[in-house]
Amino acid sequence: MTSKVKIGAVVIGRNEGTRLVNCLMSLQDEVDLVVYVDSGSTDASLENATRLGAEIVLLDESVPFTAARARNAGFERIMDRGDPPAMVQFLDGDCRLEPGYLSQAVAELEGQDSLGVVTGWRAEIYPDASVYNQMCDHEWHGPVGDIAACGGDMMVKAAVFQQVGGFNPQVIAAEDDEFCTRLRKAGWSLCRLPLAMTHHDANMMHFSQWWSRAVRTGHGFEQVNDLHPEYFQRERKRMWIYGAVLPALGLVGLLFFWPLLVLVLLLFAVSYMRTVLGLIRSGLPRLRAAHHGFYLFLSKFPNIVGAATYHMRKRKGADMVIIEYK
């Protein structure tokens, strides 16, 4: 084992195939207990998880699947043990754990009483397989030290998780941001270590997958901001201005007043160049920054679709159903 402190792991997945096998194998001899939570897989996920020694939790298909709901179910199974672990590592089924990471995460959590969550760097396994994978790889490499939020791959003190009530199962995207926001409001801090934590296999090869992921992101912006109005303010402002307001003004300009259309196009060009320059400053080569910048500019439109989907569901009282991209 990596530490004298007991560690449990919750892995969530749906039709991850070989990715799940790699994930579970990376946890062997690293943790005391692995719980795999399955959200209606139709592949060999259950058989593979059983073969690799994980305890299985099957989510009831009559209730909408969400990553938040799955993580909560896995945590509850771990806590049902007679001597539950003090630390729980959450891991998505398309990720592989970096050997030796957990011992350093535990040491960090044990060393700071006010620290509730520790995470590290996630990297794409095949970053050059597509521009979409490249963008994920760049997105995962966040700043280190004290952070406001992190992704779903995280180690949490079990007592802290219970205190804040776990994840909100109604949040279908950015549920990790929502959880981290409540955790900080409860007085706990979060930390990203300057260490490799997981290796992610996005397997995002097609434009349609990228579009669906961007739709999901927009849904997350609106839903989490609805719960925490101070959160995602900047992201939502850019989404609505560049994805809705300016296109509407551009259409008015096209139909009635061409100088207005020219002004809108100039504003789009300035926004794109600022995005590209920011990516270059972050370390991306110029051509790659220009390529990524195009998709970041374009993402405002599927983001708006996701935001509108959230508000439509909320108004109708409909279920918040997951938006899958693979």
Domains of the chain: 7-205 (3.90.550.10), 224-316 (no CATH)
Tokens of 253: 């300009």
Measured over the CA atoms of residue 61, residue 65, residue 68 and residue 70, the dihedral's sign is positive
In the block, residue with structure tokens 């194998």 = 25
What is residue 81's predicted lDDT score, i.e. its pLDDT?
82
pLDDT digits (tens, 9 = 90+) for 131-190: 999 999 998 888 999 999 999 999 999 999 999 999 999 999 999 999 999 999 999 999
Question: Given a cut of 60, is residue 1 above it in pLDDT?
Answer: no
* Per-residue pLDDT tens digits for 235-274: 999 999 999 999 999 999 999 999 999 999 999 999 999 9
Mean pLDDT, residues 24-43 taken together: 92
Q: How does DSSP classify residue 242? A: I
Please check whether residue 218 is in contact with residue 119, taking contact to mean a CB–CB distance below 8 angstroms: no
Confidence class for position 119, pLDDT limits 50, 70, 90:
very high
What are the tokens at 39? Answer: 């959200």
Residue 15 gets the label, from left (phi > 0), alpha (psi -120 to 50) or beta, of left
Quick: pLDDT tens for 57-82.
999 888 888 999 999 999 999 999 87
